[in-house]
């Protein structure tokens, strides 16, 4: 894990853009997670949202069904 921080305009976004282009060229999977000012009470909100979307969790599904999806072997 790498934390990129610094004052505005020192090319943080440009650095990330270049890194993403390298990763794409190597054929690796890129996942972008973003925090939200509306979910500051949930530290893992971006990760939770990603897992819910990737595994297509439905609102009506119970914990048991969600766990079964989590335990399925990765399809890619
Ligand atoms: N290698 C580069 N060559 C030319 N221009 C660059 C390069 N890196 C950054 N820039 C330019 O410098 C400016 C600031 O870069 P960037 O947006 O990446 O900064 P930042 O650190 O993400 O800033 P912020 O904190 O405001 O988001 C942009 O206009 C960008 O196009
Ligand atoms: Mg930026």
Residue 42 Cα to chain centre, angstroms: 14
**Which of the residue ranges 48-52, 60-64, 71-75 would you say has the lowest mean pLDDT?**
71-75
Contact present, 36 and 45 (Cβ < 8 Å): yes
Q: Considering every ligand atom, which ligand is closest to the CA of 7?
A: 1
How many Å lie between the centroid of ligand 2 and the Cα of residue 42? 23
pTM for the structure as a whole: 0.70
pLDDT at residue 74 greater than cutoff 90: no
Contact present, 58 and 67 (Cβ < 8 Å): no
35-61 pLDDT per residue, tens: 889 999 998 999 999 999 999 999 899
> What is the token pair recorded at 20?
């993403």
> What is the token pair recorded at 72?
């399925």
Residue ranges with CB less than 5 Å from ion ligand 2: 12-13
Strand residues in the chain grouped as ranges (E): none
Residues of the chain with pLDDT > 70, as a percent, come to 97
Q: What confidence score (pLDDT) does residue 30 get?
A: 86
pLDDT at residue 73 greater than cutoff 90: no
How many Å lie between the centroid of ligand 1 and the Cα of residue 5? 13
Query: In the block, which residue shows the tokens 């399809």?
Result: 75
């Amino acid at each position: 894990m790498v934390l990129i921080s610094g004052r505005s305009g020192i090319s943080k976004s440009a650095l990330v853009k270049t890194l993403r282009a390298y990763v794409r060229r190597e054929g690796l999977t890129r996942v972008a997670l973003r925090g939200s000012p509306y979910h500051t009470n949930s530290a893992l909100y971006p990760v939770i949202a990603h897992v819910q979307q990737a595994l297509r969790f439905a609102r009506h599904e119970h914990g048991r069904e969600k766990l079964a999806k989590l335990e399925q072997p990765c399809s890619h």
